[in-house]
Amino acid sequence: MKSYLEDYLAYLRLERNCSSLTITSYRLELQKFITYLGSIDITNFNQVDISLLRKYVIYIKETRNLSNVSLYTKIAMGLELYLFKNSSVNMPEVVGHCGRC
């Protein structure tokens, strides 16, 4: 799963020209997502689907005290990684919508 993360971060850096602070923010948050996946025995990113992303949203809501904007940003990061993995989606239209790039 780390290879998907690294590929996605490279995409943000090279294709979307995101700042180093944005890359660091994404890395930290998406590592939390990957840690969550490991905690529920998901070992391959191919096992991730929309249903699992919904469970992650519930997990975030229950375990982290976040504002709605922060929650939305965390959800968007996980969704963007999911869409990147399923790259039939045109990523430039999706990535950066939260204003980080």
Q: What is the pLDDT of residues 64-90, one digit of tens each?
A: 888 888 888 888 888 888 888 876 545
Q: Is residue 100 part of a domain?
A: no
How far, in Å, CA of 64 to CA of 50, rounded? Answer: 21
Long-range contacts made by residues 16-20, C-beta under 8 angstroms, separation at least 24? 16/92, 16/95, 16/96, 16/101, 17/101, 18/96, 18/100, 18/101, 19/101
CATH number for position 68? 1.10.150.130
Query: Hey, CA dihedral for 25, 36, 52, 72, is it positive or negative?
Result: negative
Expressed as residue numbers, the domain containing 36 is 2-93
How far, in Å, CA of 61 to CA of 56, rounded? Answer: 9
Query: Hey, CA dihedral for 88, 93, 98, 99, is it positive or negative?
Result: positive
How far, in Å, CA of 35 to CA of 99, rounded? Answer: 25
Please report, rounded to a whole number, the percentage of residues in the chain having pLDDT higher than 70: 85
What value does the mean pLDDT take over residues 14-28?
A: 92
Q: How many domains does the chain have?
A: 1
Query: Mean pLDDT over all residues of the chain?
Result: 83
Q: Is residue 45 part of a domain?
A: yes
Q: What is the pLDDT of residues 38-48, one digit of tens each?
A: 999 998 888 88
Q: Is residue 99 part of a domain?
A: no
Q: Is residue 73 part of a domain?
A: yes
